[in-house]
Amino acid sequence: MIKLSTSFAAPALVALVALASGTAWAAGLAKPDQEFLEKAAIGNLFEIEAGKMALARGKKEDVKLLGEQSVKDHTKNAQELAQLAAAKGVKLPTELPADRKKKLEAWAASKNFDGLYLSALGYNSHSQDMALFEKASKEAKDKDVRAYAAKTLPVLKMHNRAAHGSLTNKS
């Protein structure tokens, strides 16, 4: 019988369990950095779909313009994120989680699409995204992840300001 040294067996067992459970993270990338990339991908997917919906369902011109800008900016962000994730060995989500899909379905069924969209962009989703990106721009362990977060944060802030302006402008 072959006897494994305990210095080899314990780390190998931990790695095997992590792989089997699907919780292993990308080689060399800290788990919080990987989680940030995954959350950023979901945010981009959501904003692209919401922007498309704003173009199709928006009544106010500023909602349609903001939707168009969101689609353009978040598509670009998603492409940059995909390149970064590929370089780091991170597999990004390619579809929205159920809660985000339900939110979009509720917006589609609402007679107040413009208000829901602007409120989410100005107060809810972008505020959460800005906090996520602000934290990653300062605390991510990987310099490329920090750089992506720092580069993208001003775009999120611009969308947030535009939505706030539309909400307070009520034209």
For the chain, the structural domain boundaries read: 33-169
Average pLDDT of span 114-118: 88
**Per CATH, which fold does 33-169 belong to?**
Ferritin (1.20.1260)
CA–CA gap between residue 38 and residue 81 (Å, rounded): 9
CA–CA gap between residue 141 and residue 7 (Å, rounded): 28
Say if residue 146's pLDDT is above 50. yes
Please tell me the chain's helix, strand, coil percentages from 3-state DSSP, rounded to the nearest 5.
80, 0, 20
| Angle between helix 61-88 and 143-169 (nearest 10) | 170
CA–CA gap between residue 35 and residue 132 (Å, rounded): 11
Q: Which residues contact 113 (CB under 8 A, 6 or more apart)?
A: 53, 54, 57, 58, 59, 63, 107
Q: Which residues contact 22 (CB under 8 A, 6 or more apart)?
A: none
21-30, 93-102, 116-125, 129-138: which has the minimum mean pLDDT? 21-30
DSSP state of 9: H
Q: Which two tokens stand for residue 157?
A: 């802030």
pTM for this prediction? 0.80
Closest CA to 107 of 41, 170, 51: 51
Asked if 70 and 79 count as a contact pair (C-beta separation under 8 A), the reply is no
Say if residue 88's pLDDT is above 60. yes
Structure confidence by residue, pLDDT tens digits, 17-65: 344 333 344 557 999 999 999 999 999 999 999 999 999 999 999 899 9
CA–CA gap between residue 22 and residue 114 (Å, rounded): 40
